[in-house]
A and B are shown apart, each in its own frame.
Chain A
Amino acid sequence: MEVDRADGRNPNQLRPLACSCSILHRAHGSASWSQGFRFIQTSHFYHFNLFVFTSKCYFCYWVGSGDTKVLAAVYGPKAGTKKNENPEKASIEVIWKPRTGQIGKPEKEYEIILKRTLQSICILTINPNTTTSVIIQVVHDDGALLPCAINAACAALVDAGIPMKHLAVAICCCSAESGYCILDPTKLEEQKMKGFAYLVFPNSILSVLPEGSSLVQGEPMEHGIITSVTHGAMSVDDYFHCLERGRAASAKLSDFLRRSLQSKLPGDLSKAE
C-alpha cells in the first residue's frame, strides 16, 4: 500500500503547521492557521554582470505556494440577536470571505458548516441574547481548506475568551481507489482522489480524574466526532478507516494547538501578585 505523494510525505504525515494568535489589532480575538510551506518566489532582479556565478543561484524559483492559510477574526459577544435566532442563547454568526471572487453557494455552505460546528463547542447559555461574529478570510487555498478554517476559528475563539466546552481539531482524509487513505491532501491530491472527508474531533484534554471515570458509553470523550463532511464516493469500510486515521492524527493536532496557546498566554500575567 505504498503511495507516492507529490511532496514526498507518507500517507499519515501532515503538512507543517503554524498558528499565531492575536494578530489583528482591532478584533477581539484573532488567529491564523496555516498548513504547509510557502515557497518564496525570488525575482530576476539579482542579475549582476560581475557576479554571473551568484546570479545563477537566484534563478531558482518555485511558482506558487504549497500551503493553505486562513485568518480568523472574532468580534463579540455583542448585544442583540438576529430575528430568527433564539434569544435565550448566544448566537454565532460566520462570515466567510474567499480569496478572490464573489461570495456564492460554496461560501454559504462553508458558513453553515462552520456555524454548526462552533455552536456545538461553545457554551451558548452563558451570554444569552448576544451575537459573536466570526469572520474567516482565506489567504491561500491548497487543499483541506475547511479543516484549516475550523482550526483557525477555534483558536480565534479561545483568543477572544468565548466560553467553550472543549476545543475542536479538524483534519481532511481522502480515500483512493485501492482503499488506502491519506491525510491532509493538497488540492491536486483532493481532485485525483475518489472521495474525501473533513472530520472534526474534540481535542484531547488534561484531566485530574482517574482514567476511565469520565467515559461516555464506554469510550473516552476524544473518540467522539463533532462534524463530518464527505465529498465523492467511498465505501463504508473506507470511511471508517479514514475515521481511525483522522482520530489518530487529531491527537497530534490537539497537542500542537495546546502548545501554541500556551506559548501565547504566560507573557502578560507572570507577576502582579
Chain B
Amino acid sequence: MEAKPSTANLVDKIVVPGDVVLDLSSMTNQTIKLGGGLRQECDSVSVIKAGKLRFSKPNKYWVESSQKRYVPCVEDTVLGIVVDCKADNFFVDIRGPTIAFLPVLAFEGGTRRNIPKFEIGSLLYVRVVKANPGMNPELSCTDASGKAAEFGLLKDGYMFETSTGLSRMLLSSPTCPVLEELGKQLSFEIAVGLNGRVNAESPSTVVLVSNAIMNSESLSAVQQKIMVDKLLQRIK
C-alpha cells in the first residue's frame, strides 16, 4: 500500500522496479537528465531496475546497481572478444544484449591497406562510440581525437569476468583499497573494462592479483586491506 508521506525523497535509498521516484508535474521548467534504471511515464519517473537511487547536482538521476551483464553506453571503455571478421567490421562480444561492431578502419592511421588481423578470440580494449537502443553498438580503437591511446589488442595476461559494480569500483578515484594494497607489494598491470571484464598481467603473481580482485566485491575498505594482507602473507 502506498503509505508514504507526500514529500518522501527516495534519493540514496534502495528502490525496486515499480517505485515512482519523481513527480514531474511539480518540477516544471527544469531539465532533468535520467540515467540507467529510470523511465519516464507521462508525468512521473519510475524505476525499472533495482538498486540505489542517486542524484548528482544539478539535475542527474540514476539507479546504481551491479549486474553481470553490461548495458552499452557511449564513451565507455570496455574489453571485447572478437568473434568474427567480416569485410567491413569485426564482430566483438562485449557482454551486452547484442554483438558490437568494430569497423576495420577505426584504428589510428587505419586505411584499407593496413587492416589489422585479429584472430577469433583475441581480447581488445575498445571504446564505445555509438550505443543506440535496438541497434548493435559501434566500437572504436581510437580516442575521440583519432589517436591510438592504449586501445587495441591485449596480448598477454589473464582475463576474468566480474560484475559491472566491481569494475566501476576498480576504476574509481581515489584508487580503490584493494589495488592500493596490492600495488604496495607487487607489480602488475590491469586493464579494466566497464563491462565487467578485467585483464591482469603480472610476471609471476597473476593468480593472486585476480583472486584478490574477485574477492573484494562485497568487502568494505578495511576488510579489503585485511584480505589482501592475508593473501600476500602466503607468498612470503
Interface residues of A (CB under 8 A from B): 28-29, 76-79, 123, 126-130, 158, 160-161, 163-167, 202-211, 213-214, 220, 222, 251, 257-258, 261-262, 265-273
Least distance between B147 CB and chain A CB atoms (Å): 29
Q: Hey, which chain B residues are within 8 Å of A28, CB to CB?
A: 67-69
Given contacts A166-B18, A202-B18, contact A268 B217 (CB under 8 A): yes
Q: Which residue of A lies closest to B164 (CB)?
A: A161
Least distance between A80 CB and chain B CB atoms (Å): 9
Q: Hey, which chain A residues are within 8 Å of B163, CB to CB?
A: 268
| A-facing residues in B1-29 (Cβ within 8 Å) | 1-2, 4, 6-10, 14-23
Q: Hey, which chain A residues are within 8 Å of B39, CB to CB?
A: 123, 163
Q: Which residue of A lies closest to B37 (CB)?
A: A163
- Is the beta-carbon distance between A207 and B2 smaller than 8 angstroms? yes
Q: Which residue of B lies closest to A162 (CB)?
A: B49
Contact with A along B55-69 (1 / 0, CB 8 A): 000000000111111
Interface residues of B (CB under 8 A from A): 1-2, 4, 6-10, 14-23, 39, 44, 46, 48-52, 64-69, 71, 97-99, 133-134, 163, 165-166, 168-169, 172, 176, 217-218, 220-221
Q: Hey, which chain A residues are within 8 Å of B51, CB to CB?
A: 265, 269
Q: Which residue of A lies closest to B41 (CB)?
A: A165
Q: Which residue of B lies closest to A211 (CB)?
A: B2
- Is the beta-carbon distance between B16 and A167 smaller than 8 angstroms? yes
Besides the contacts A222-B1, A222-B2, A270-B220, what 14 more A-B pairs have beta carbons closer than 8 Å?
A77-B97, A79-B99, A126-B48, A164-B18, A204-B1, A205-B20, A206-B8, A208-B7, A208-B8, A209-B6, A210-B6, A211-B2, A267-B217, A272-B176
Q: Which residue of A lies closest to B95 (CB)?
A: A28
Q: Which residue of A lies closest to B65 (CB)?
A: A161
A43 to B48, CA, bound (A): 48
Q: Hey, which chain A residues are within 8 Å of B52, CB to CB?
A: 265-266, 269
A-B pair number, CB within 8 angstroms: 143
Query: DSSP majority for the B interface?
Result: loop
A-B contact pairs, 26 of them (CB 8 A): A79-B98, A129-B98, A130-B98, A158-B49, A158-B50, A160-B68, A160-B69, A163-B39, A205-B18, A205-B20, A206-B8, A208-B6, A208-B20, A208-B21, A209-B44, A210-B6, A210-B23, A257-B16, A262-B14, A265-B65, A266-B52, A267-B218, A269-B51, A269-B65, A269-B66, A273-B172
A85 to B50, CA, bound (A): 27
- Is the beta-carbon distance between B48 and A165 smaller than 8 angstroms? yes
Q: Which residue of B lies closest to A130 (CB)?
A: B97
- Is the beta-carbon distance between A206 and B2 smaller than 8 angstroms? yes
- Is the beta-carbon distance between A161 and B49 smaller than 8 angstroms? yes
Q: Hey, which chain B residues are within 8 Å of A220, CB to CB?
A: 1-2
A161 is contacted by which of B19, B67, B220 (Cβ under 8 Å)?
B67
Given contacts A165-B18, A261-B14, A267-B218, contact A208 B23 (CB under 8 A): yes
A28 to B195, CA, bound (A): 13
Name the residue among B14, B18, B64, B65 with the largest chain A CB count within 10 angstroms: B18
- Is the beta-carbon distance between B65 and A208 smaller than 8 angstroms? no
Given contacts A28-B67, A160-B67, A167-B16, contact A206 B4 (CB under 8 A): yes
A208 is contacted by which of B10, B71, B133, B166 (Cβ under 8 Å)?
B10
Q: Hey, which chain B residues are within 8 Å of A158, CB to CB?
A: 16-17, 49-50
Q: Hey, which chain B residues are within 8 Å of A214, CB to CB?
A: 2, 20, 44
A266 to B64, CA, bound (A): 10
Q: Which residue of A lies closest to B8 (CB)?
A: A208
10 shortest interchain CB distances as A-B pairs: A166-B18, A161-B67, A207-B20, A163-B48, A164-B17, A77-B97, A272-B172, A267-B218, A205-B18, A210-B6
Q: Which residue of A lies closest to B219 (CB)?
A: A267
Least distance between A62 CB and chain B CB atoms (Å): 36
A165 is contacted by which of B7, B17, B97 (Cβ under 8 Å)?
B17
A261 to B66, CA, bound (A): 13
Given contacts A128-B134, A265-B65, contact A123 B48 (CB under 8 A): yes
A220 to B21, CA, bound (A): 17
Q: Hey, which chain A residues are within 8 Å of B4, CB to CB?
A: 206-208
Least distance between B62 CB and chain A CB atoms (Å): 12
A258 is contacted by which of B16, B65, B66 (Cβ under 8 Å)?
B16
